[in-house]
Structure 1
Amino acid sequence: MSIEAAAVFCGSKTGKNPIFNQHAAELGKLLAMLKIKLVYGGGNKGLMGTIADAVLAQGGKVMGVIPKLLIEWEQQHEGLTELAVVSDMHTRKKIMYEMCDAAIVLPGGFGTLDELFEMVTWNQLKIHDKKIYVLNSGGFYNHLILHLKQMEKEGFLYENISERIIICDNPVEVFNKIS
């Protein structure tokens, strides 16, 4: 299956480790090079803003999906190819899932984890079969990966975690696995 659009879930903050922002910029450049449209949360701050700006700087296409509630908080990006303003967070996630062929998860907070786990759950329930990539920049997700493996070891998962989530340590690894 060819990937024409990728949903990227990430923080509206940049975090403390400079590698997070660096990887977001590198991934944006690579997505544009592959002519993969970025579908993301529509903000201009944090890793969200970094990846959108990187795709746009390379002439790529970017669709933002932002709920009315977050327009001021996340400061919607004004320079996007497309921007959908939706009523709530659930609608945002649903549209982002519908508009993408794969999902890539970068470092982020509660919202990013919510999006990751909903995507994985929908994948497990066969609501969709989209590939899910986790960009483990600077080992950000090491503890989560260990916990997922513990869930698998203790018999709470229906298959190996590697069947649902593709872990990558850098943007080039995502690029190599997605192209």
Structure 2
Amino acid sequence: MKFFLIVSYIALTFSAPSKSFASEVEAGSPASILDSKEDDFCIKASQTDGGMSHYHDCLNNALSKSNKKLTEKYEEKLKEITYSKDYDFYDSINSDRKSLRPKIEASYKNEQKTWIIYRESYCKNIVSGNITGDSAFVGYISCTINMNKRRVEEINLMYNPASTW
């Protein structure tokens, strides 16, 4: 019986898992916050177009596009909150009722400011320590781009009055 338990333990311990971590990550998403499609693209582009200078310009350009897309999505949702009748919520049904829209707007604005501080801190922390020089630069940009993508997804999911919750 001991032999069977030992063999079973060894088989379970050293056998390959049926699903790899990479396959569990969303299709198209990097396995690490420090990896990005944009970095891969810039590596390939710099190999044909002029080396490290072009590579850094490409990454900075990708970061600018990512920040712009996040800002546009944030502003689009803020405009929706500010003007859509879907956000006409009130604190009571009485005639002296007050709109909750200002609180929703203020909360959303504060949430975005807090999230940006979190993103900056998180990405700086991720690249601190063992990652230095160019790797830190690339890692920070890739982290920021990936965090921006996730935030856009979060904004798409938030404050949806049409949901059935």
Q: Same fold (TM over 0.5)?
A: no
Normalised to the residue count of structure 2, the TM-score between the two structures is 0.22
Of Structure 1 and Structure 2, the greater helix share is in 2
Query: TM-score, structure 1 length as denominator?
Result: 0.21
Question: By percentage of residues, which structure has more strand?
Answer: 1
Higher RCO, 1 or 2 (CA under 8 Å, sep at least 6)?
2
